[in-house]
Amino acid sequence: MVAKKYLIHKLTDSGEQKATARELFELMRAEDRREVAACASDIYAEIVDDIETSDECWAGFDKKTRALIAVWGICKMPNRRGRLIWCLGTYQIKHFWVAFASESRKIVRRWARRYGCLYNAVGAFNTDSIRWLQWCGAEFDKEVMIGGEKFLPFRIEGGRKDV
């Protein structure tokens, strides 16, 4: 899928997934790094695991330079309705914020319709991600502590409830 200044690409090849994980690890926004660090002792291993175990994983790249903007995906969790959704961005996202938000919201809404419910938790300190999630239709629950950080559990409801 091609947009004006960037390319959104589904990550399916193992080599491409590993290269994207490395680039994301090196260039990840401080807020996103802080979230991952609260949930995992090895940030790089967690990024690789997120990318490799996702049912679907997408990445946004600057069309001219091929610089990574963000990576996002969904995972089926045992004994849980819907899909866990995640998104991690690089410092490049600030140059593509409006376009990224618009295109990624289309994907998120499609997933919500397909799977009925998307869920996860976002760092209470991660204001840009909270704003994006609100724009995608997220509803937030009571704050919880994860790894010494305050997080806001959220869900995005869609159509189907049986998946």
pLDDT tens for each residue of 48-97: 999 999 999 999 999 899 999 999 999 999 999 999 999 999 999 988 88
pLDDT surpasses 60 at 30: yes
Residue 101 confidence class, pLDDT cut points 50, 70, 90: confident
Tokens of 100: 């990224």
Residue type, 9: H
Domains of the chain, by residue range, sit at 6-119
Report DSSP state, residue 76: -
Q: What is the mean pLDDT of the chain?
A: 91
In 3D space, the residue among 80, 81, 71 whose CA is nearest the CA of residue 49 turns out to be 71
- What fold does the segment set 6-119 form as a domain? Aminopeptidase (3.40.630)
Exposed/middle/buried for residue 16 (C-beta within 10 Å: 0-12, 13-18, 19+): middle
Residue type, 85: I
